[in-house]
Amino acid sequence: MNTPTLWLTILGAGAVTFALRFSFILLLGRVEVPSFLERALRYVPAAVLTAVVIPLLFYAEGSLELSLGNERLVAGMVAALICWRTRSVPLTLVGGMATLWTLQAIGQTL
């Protein structure tokens, strides 16, 4: 991507993002949200966020890797467990990074 195209992309992404943020704060009381859309929107966070994170873990080495040798997958599962139990963002970050560093250190000594 050349520089003008890149800036076009950045500004376009910014405009789209602002429109989403502003949408209902601006429109409340002026338009009715279609009930189908409202129902569908309820599933967007869970679906999108999971669809972002899963490939980052499963394809950590560039190709599909489903084994204990995939350090990022294991560390991600540990972090998910910590997050599920504690609901704490800092603990999830610290736990996940510590697990990854530990696995990497073990991997290097073996």
Partner 1 sequence: MTTSTNKLERIHLPKTAPSASPARAAFFAGAKAILPVLLALLPFGLAFGATATGSGFSSIEALGMSVFVAAGAAQLAAIQLISAGASVAVVILTVLVINLRFTLYSVSLAPHFQSLPLWWKGLLSYHLTDQAYAATITRFDAGETQEPDKRWYYLGTGLAIWTTWQVATMVGVFLGAWVSEGWSLDFVLPLIFIALALPAIRDRTTGIAAFAAGVASVFATALPLNLGLIGAALIGVLAGLATETLTGRSKR
Residues engaged in binding partner 1 (CB under 8 A): 1, 5-14, 16-18, 20-29, 33, 38-59, 64, 72, 75-76, 79-80, 83-84, 87, 89-90, 92-93, 96-97, 100-101, 104
Nearer to partner 1, 68 or 89 (CB): 89
Nearer to partner 1, 45 or 109 (CB): 45
Task: Look up residue 30 and give its DSSP letter.
Answer: T
Whole-number CA gyration radius for the chain: 20
Residue written as tokens 């040798």?
A: 69
CA–CA distance from 105 to each of 7, 47, 74, 108 (Å)?
Answer: 40, 34, 14, 5
Taking the complex as a whole, the smallest distance from the CB of residue 86 to partner 1 amounts, in Å, to 10
